[in-house]
Amino acid sequence: MQTDFLVIGAGVAGLSAAIEAAPAGRVLVLTKDRLRESATEYSQGGVAVALSDEDEVGLHEQDTLVAGAGLCDPEAVRRLVQAGPGRIQRLIEWGAEFDSDGGRLTFSLEGAHSVNRVLHADGDSTGREIARTLLRKAQSIPAISFRSYSSVVELLRRNGEACGAVAWDGSRRELVSVHARAVLLATGGIGRIYRETTNPNVATGDGIAMAYRAGAVISNIEMVQFHPTALFLEGAPRFLLSEAVRGEGALLRNADMQRFMSRYHPSEELAPRDVVSRAIVTELGRLRRGPVYLDLTQFPDGFVPRRFPRVYRTCLAYGVDLEAVPVPVHPAAHYAMGGVATTLEGETTLPGLYAAGEVACNGVHGANRLASNSLLEGLVFGASAGEAMRRHAGATLKKPPLPRQKAAAALPGNAIAMLRRLVWRHAGITRSGPGLRAGLERLDLLSPMFEKGLARSSRHGFECDNMYQVTRLIARCALAREESRGGHYRLDHPEPRPEFRKRSQIRRGGEVRFAEVGSPLP
């Protein structure tokens, strides 16, 4: 297979990039599952954008910088907030239907925002509406084609440049080469490496692992955001209970049904996500029993089903009527602030390779993402990457041969469960030097099961290898960062340290190093 531009992933970032790259050539979008299966599809919280009369771009910029705990690249943040309104207006022109009242867009308040600036669609289905709009637009462009159930497992390189990828064709059960003039990673997050996560099954860190193996720099990968309020019922998925629920006034209560957030932050339930997550874990430890509850029973009758229809229906399906009783919640891995290091145009340190969305680290989120900035980031920086890819339109199409390896033995049935328990325990919400070192020692013992490369013969096998690779990267970078900042909290170093107000960087064969925020990529 060959194309001009290869886009790996069909979430908000991948589709935005495909649309912008299409004027310069053919675009092939690959997904490893069904076309609509991405984190974008499940995003409830909304999209933050300074469009209301009461808001200003400067306020959005300030809130983002504060949430980022000193690690945001100011130029990246400025581009996000300045370009954001135009990108949302374009979505509306393409048919996106955001919630409104009397023809005026309605905006809600979420944690760490200073004003109401979060747009929603159908209450809590914002990501689904944005994905629908982008997909319809992309499918209307003849230059863009799609191929589902094709897991990209390795990047192709020639003379130090990315020139395509190797994909596992699930229906034919064989490896296929895809040659391209430029490649974009839009593979999403890493949440499935954790025992508790809100992420879909496809979020196994594939793009980060592939980029690392190909020699690209990975940055701030230790910065993992845990969403404080995931549904916590036996037999139920860790369904996200949107940040907007607390923004509307939902209360957190401990096992004694007492509010507790005032002990941990003056903003109480609207504190930054990392603060709320640690507060819940601390409260569980303080009382030595749980669970913690999210209480919506104080709202007027009919408000919750109307404002949060998807959340209400899901909880009701598992036996919880949010209008009648509080719902048990627990923090779960939700978003990766770090990833493949990129410029503001999506360029990585590997020529010909671009990255956008959650897989990328351009500095916009710093150490802790501001609520509802992720969809906007995918729109803004996905489009920037697509525009930048156009410059490869006239490049020679390189066609390296497909590497061949013998098949590897199948993974033991409990290998992934062991891995996920390990990373949750040693590199989860709270961390420590001894715990991280113990985790790395355990990972060394597990290494014979993983890292089999193209010898695998199933999507599951490739995903497992990628999860193992990303787990090691998180543990190594978390051990090197001897401080607490944003989504990274060290029990043995509980305060931020000025010497670590830098971004971590690691590449294959090298040690963890720290670089000034905003400095050029190595």
| 8 A C-beta contact, residue 333 and residue 194 | yes
Taking the C-alpha atoms of residue 190 and residue 205, their distance in angstroms, rounded to an integer, is 4
Given a contact cutoff of 8 angstroms between Cβ atoms, the answer to whether 162 and 214 are in contact is yes
User: Of 398, 339, 328, 391, whose CA–CA distance to 365 is shortest?
Assistant: 339
Rounded to whole angstroms, the Cα distance separating 154 from 156 reads 7
- Rounded to whole angstroms, the Cα distance separating 268 from 271 reads 6
What does DSSP assign to residue 519?
Answer: P
Q: How many residues does the chain have?
A: 522
* Residues 134, 16 contacting (CB under 8 angstroms): yes
Q: Which helix (H) or strand (E) holds 335?
A: strand 327-336
**Under DSSP, is residue 439 helix (H, G, I), strand (E, B) or coil?**
helix
- The DSSP string of 117-164 is -EE-STTT-HHHHHHHHHHHHHHT-TTEEEE-SEEEEEEEEETTEEEE
- Give the β-pairing of 513-516 and 502-506: antiparallel
Backbone angles phi, psi at 503, to 5 degrees: -90, 135
Q: Give the Cα-Cα-Cα angle 514, 516, 518 (nearest 5 degrees).
A: 130
Query: Active site includes 273?
Result: yes
Q: What is the DSSP letter of 462?
A: H
Cis peptide before 291 (omega within 30 of 0): yes
Cα–Cα distance for residue pair 79/30, rounded to 1 Å: 28
What b/e sequence results for 124-157 when a residue is b if at least 16 CB atoms lie within 10 Å of its CB, and e otherwise? bbbbbbbbbbbbebbeeeebbebebbbbbbbbbb
What the block records as the tokens of 80 is: 């996000």
Q: Residue 206, SS3?
A: helix
Bridge partners of 516? 502
Of 79, 87, 128, 273, catalytic: 273
In 216-357, where does DSSP find H-type helix? 243-247, 273-287, 303-307, 309-317
Burial class (CB in 10 A: 0-12, 13-18, 19+), 381: buried
Angle, CA of 230, 38 and 439, to the nearest 5°: 60
DSSP per-residue letters across 389-414: HGGGTTS----PPPP--PPPPPPPTT
- Give the SS3 label for residue 285: helix
Active-site annotation, residues:
273
